[in-house]
Amino acid sequence: MPIECNNLTKSYDGKLVIDHCTATIPEIGVTAIMGPSGVGKTTFLRLLAGLEKADSGHISGLSRKKLSVVFQEDRLFPQLTVLENLQAVGSGAEQWLYRLGLMKAAAQYPDELSGGMKRRVSIGRALCFDGDVFLLDEPFQGLDDSTKMDVMDIFAELKTRKAIVLVTHDHREAEYLAAHILRF
């Protein structure tokens, strides 16, 4: 069942951020969300994640679906190691750490990591949680080109069986992964 967004609106302090947005997100494959800074892309993801409530409109097709989210700020558990951060949410932690090039960092704590490493741990946690729907807000930002390709390839594999909503400013990422693009 696809996710249907019907006529969503959302304002902050009287300023309209999401203006009657209607969109379909297929059950399988990558939907890229693109648009200038401040146009409401993160807000749209937060509406999908249920972290914000729309002022009007309706989202259907999300009930009973498990959501894996990666937001721009990496919300890792500071008191847990990298490995434990992944194990806390699901299974397959070691396998994902390996795929993400993080095996050597498994016993480190988040405040000992670089920005790009924290980002990969966040991605690893989303993968371990193994949602039906992945909500990704600029997930590849801060990764060097080679690591970015490795991580994008994980999602290229995943997109054959999951719904992935990818906010990105990078046309190459969108072209590589996405079946269609929602322009905000």
Binding site for ligand ATP (CB under 6 A): 12-13, 17, 35, 37-43
Closer CB to ligand ATP, 69 or 83, in the complex: 69
CB of 39 to ligand ATP, least distance (A): 4
Closer CB to ligand ATP, 39 or 59, in the complex: 39
Give me the residue label for tokens 């800074």: 37
**Pairwise CA distance, residues 182 & 156, whole Å:** 19
43 Cβ contact list (under 8 Å, min separation 6): 10, 17, 18, 52
CB of 14 to ligand ATP, least distance (A): 10
Identify the CA nearest to 137 among candidates 14, 40, 9. Answer: 40
CB of 138 to ligand ATP, least distance (A): 7
Closer CB to ligand ATP, 17 or 97, in the complex: 17
Handedness of CA 125, 131, 137, 141 (dihedral sign): positive
CB of 45 to ligand ATP, least distance (A): 8
Closer CB to ligand ATP, 46 or 99, in the complex: 46
**Pairwise CA distance, residues 22 & 114, whole Å:** 38
**Pairwise CA distance, residues 83 & 94, whole Å:** 7
